[in-house]
Structure 1
Amino acid sequence: MYKDSVVPVKAESFSGMAAKSPINQCIKTVLRRACVEKRLTVGLLPAIQYLSQGNNSALFCLTAEAPPGDSATHMQEVLLQAFCEENDIYVIKVDSEVKLRNMLGCRTSTMDFGCLLVHYPYTDPFSDSQEFDLSALSDAERDLIEHCEMNWGHTQAPVIKLPEK
């Protein structure tokens, strides 16, 4: 049943233009850039805590499917996704927590990679104003936004199949 809900990734971009990179490559690029720029919250509980503090700087919420039988995690994910949708945070479902961990180069399994929040870039990271600089979004971030906009409002978001490597 789960494998049937995984959407195979197509090679075209979501900008309607010639293919730049597949959506799974966009995810990898966005995650690595956000990690370097310290715009990433890793883990389901840290993400929930961050969002519960009234922070509205999240651009994307990437979630991996909860393991079968883990109803508590599944309930938290459903609530988190509902919160994100209500607050205009793009939700992207992926097929594997392990693949997310590997994309970021983390080989240890002690951290929870079931949920990642990618935050907006700021105009000045040393400023107290915390204004978003939308012009600082990368092409990969723009492609992910376009992908999310195409799927906004669907009852079941597609699950992106990430590459094995």
Structure 2
Amino acid sequence: MCIEKFEDKCKMINRSKLGRAVRGVLNLAKVEERLVCGLIPAITCLEKNPEDVLLCLLSQTSPGDATTHIQTVLLQAYCYENYIPVIQVDSDQKLAELCGSEKRKSKTKCLCAIITKCPESPGETSDESCSTTGSLSPTEQILTDFYECTLEEFPRPVVKLPG
């Protein structure tokens, strides 16, 4: 019975709208100051408090960049070991734009974005949307459901970000 409910939930996920869901989650996390952008800041955040991380968004690496590829593979493995959903996205430039990275160069990149959980005590934030600690927003729930539904897919699905 539980398996049937899970399969029904997986069938209901509209994969063509996942890019907009990612944008919504990033915007909410940015407003609530729960967003960590960049590979090194993400690794630092995971190293300090992996239990505070809700979701990891990881862009595809460019062919020929062995160092970055190894770092992202290790980051994925670490997230997997700590039960942190990792969703792969199609573009580091689009991810940078959605994270609100400054455009110092003509091409700004963001290989990774971490979304942390809401603070435990409601007094730490004045934002109403984050005051419901312990529960995910509907959009965050869609993305975590998508991750769970695609765990056994190979190759892993890549979410196309809105451009």
TM-score with structure 2 setting the length: 0.78
Find 2:63's aligned residue among 68, 71, 82.
68
Separation of aligned partners in 2, 1:84 and 1:53:
13
Alignment of 1:3-18 (within 5 A): 16=12
Find 1:97's aligned residue among 78, 92, 114.
92
Find the counterpart in structure 1 of residue 110 from structure 2. 113
1:149 aligns with 2:144: no
Separation of aligned partners in 2, 1:68 and 1:109:
24
Query: Is the partner of 1:133 in helix, strand or coil?
Result: coil
Query: Is the partner of 2:75 in helix, strand or coil?
Result: helix
CA shift at 1:163, angstroms?
1.8
Separation of aligned partners in 2, 1:82 and 1:154:
16
CA shift at 1:91, angstroms?
0.2
Find the counterpart in structure 2 of residue 133 from structure 1. 133
Find the counterpart in structure 2 of residue 4 from structure 1. none
Find 1:41's aligned residue among 36, 56, 59.
36
On the 8 A contact 1:15/1:143 being kept in 2, the answer is no
Distance change in 2, residues 1:119/1:145 (3 Å): same
Deviates more, 1:100-109 or 1:28-37: 100-109
On the 8 A contact 2:53/2:117 being kept in 1, the answer is yes
- Output the aligned Cα RMSD: 2.5
Find the counterpart in structure 1 of residue 158 from structure 2. 159
TM-score with structure 1 setting the length: 0.77
| Structure 2: gaps (5+ residues) | 1-8, 125-131
On the 8 A contact 1:84/1:91 being kept in 2, the answer is yes
Find the counterpart in structure 2 of residue 51 from structure 1. 46
Separation of aligned partners in 2, 1:156 and 1:54:
29
| Structure 1: gaps (5+ residues) | 1-12
Separation of aligned partners in 2, 1:49 and 1:26:
26
On the 8 A contact 2:50/2:82 being kept in 1, the answer is no
More helix by share: 2
CA shift at 1:14, angstroms?
5.6
Query: Is the partner of 2:12 in helix, strand or coil?
Result: coil
Separation of aligned partners in 2, 1:51 and 1:123:
18
